[in-house]
Amino acid sequence: MLYSSLQKYLFFLILVISACQRSATISRPNISNIEVQVEIERFDQELATLQAQDILEKNRIWQQQYGYFYSDYMIKILEIGSPKDSLYVQHVLSQVLQKKDFKDLSAAVEKVYPNMDKYEAALEQAMKYVKYYFPAYPIPRFIAFVGGFAVQTPVGNDYVGIGLDMFLGADSEFYPALTKSIPRYISRRFTPENIVPRVVEAILREDIYPQRHGDVNTLAHMIYNGKILYALDCLLDVPDVYKIGYTEQQLKWAKQHQADVWAWFIQENLLYNTDYLRIQKYFTEAPFTPELGENNESAPKLGSYIGWMIVRRYMEKHPEMNLKELFMHEDAQEILEGSKFKGK
């Protein structure tokens, strides 16, 4: 019994050491001399306290104060129309402000987010790393809003929006009623801990490194998504579950079955498959991955997960390469070969 316990302890110790070694391969640059200041502007609070008699004046002020964001908010998020049509905006907003649903949602957001101090600090740290790797990138405005569950982190002309109503916590009373449009396997990630990872991911995907239309086969999708996840390794100090959006159980399943999943991609000749309907199931949001695992227990987005492991392995073998250089390396096949990845 003592020998068995000792074996288990040594096995656990090896796993811990291995995990530490893997995380230690991300070499953090010195960012102490990089000046970045992040403020999350609280448009949500301004709208929540708006009085009907002030709509016309505020509509005029907000067009100047919030610029592209306000226009996008009215046209694309609330779908009211152009704020330049001031009388129509007055008519619609006066009705919105009276609705109980709007008042309840705004109150819930205010309760969870009386201030944004810790999220500003975390975003500021992440943006310093962004500036280190991509010095030409202009740090956007960050604007918090309530959008009626329309969009979580929209990226606009000079801003990134943060839809706080989509970060209220997995147990929020609002989300069960939305399951037809937002399934629970998605809304479970609508937590405060996801704000910074989702904002940084949106910046990477929309502004810094958007996917090219030429990325048509499975391997190209793998490497692209692997690069994004590796970038989150470099820019954030958060657990892996928040980077890829897994539960702890899903991450455990992906690690345990990593070699089997890789063998499946090889066996089914999926790496160079260009059939979108065939391959999209390995990259899109889902409760599990069809065809893999038993009793629907498999992790979703396994193409992205495997791509992440390939890119991590590649960067371990190329410590001279930084994140910007990785993004510039567009040959997915060379990255796969250079990683020596064989599923383990």
Q: How confident is the model at residue 292 (pLDDT cuts 50, 70, 90)?
A: confident
Q: In terms of domains, do 307 and 186 share one?
A: no
* Any domain includes 291: yes
Across 164-275, the runs of DSSP E, i.e. the strands, are none
In this structure, the answer to whether residues 200 and 245 fall within a common structural domain is no
329 domain residue, yes or no = yes
In degrees rounded to 5, what are phi and psi of residue 145? -150, 170
- Based on the fold, state whether residues 230 and 323 are members of the same structural domain: yes
Q: Are residues 158 and 233 in the same domain?
A: no
Q: How far apart are CA 228 and CA 238, in angstroms?
A: 15
pTM confidence score: 0.91
Q: Return the SS3 of 324.
A: helix
Q: Are residues 258 and 168 in the same domain?
A: no
Query: Which residues, including other chains, have CB under 8 Å from residue 156's CB and lie 6 or more apart?
Result: 68, 69, 72
Query: Which of 208, 231, 266 marks a domain boundary?
Result: 208
* Domain finish residue from 189, 208, 227: 208
Within this chain, do residues 172 and 235 fall inside the same structural domain, yes or no?
no
Specify the number of domains making up the chain: 2
In a domain, 23, yes or no: no
Owning domain of residue 88: 40-208
Q: Are residues 111 and 227 in the same domain?
A: no
> For residue 172, is it within any domain?
yes
Are 48 and 177 part of one and the same domain?
yes
Q: What is the pLDDT of residues 198-243, one digit of tens each?
A: 999 999 999 999 998 766 899 999 999 999 999 999 999 999 999 9
Residues 84 and 129 in one domain: yes
Amino acid in position 46: E
pLDDT of amino acid 214:
67
Q: Is there a single domain that holds both residue 239 and residue 305?
A: yes
Q: How far apart are CA 149 and CA 136, in angstroms?
A: 33
Could you tell me if 184 and 275 lie in one domain?
no
In this predicted structure, what is the pLDDT of residue 65? 98
pLDDT band at 314 (very low <50, low <70, confident <90, very high): very high
Evaluate if residue 8 carries a pLDDT over 50: no
* 22 pLDDT higher than 70: no
- State which of 148, 178, 208 marks the end of a domain: 208
- Residue-wise pLDDT for 39-62, tens only, equals 999 999 999 999 999 999 999 999
Tokens standing for 186?
């998605």
**What pLDDT does residue 295 have?**
77
How far, in Å, CA of 247 to CA of 226, rounded? 18
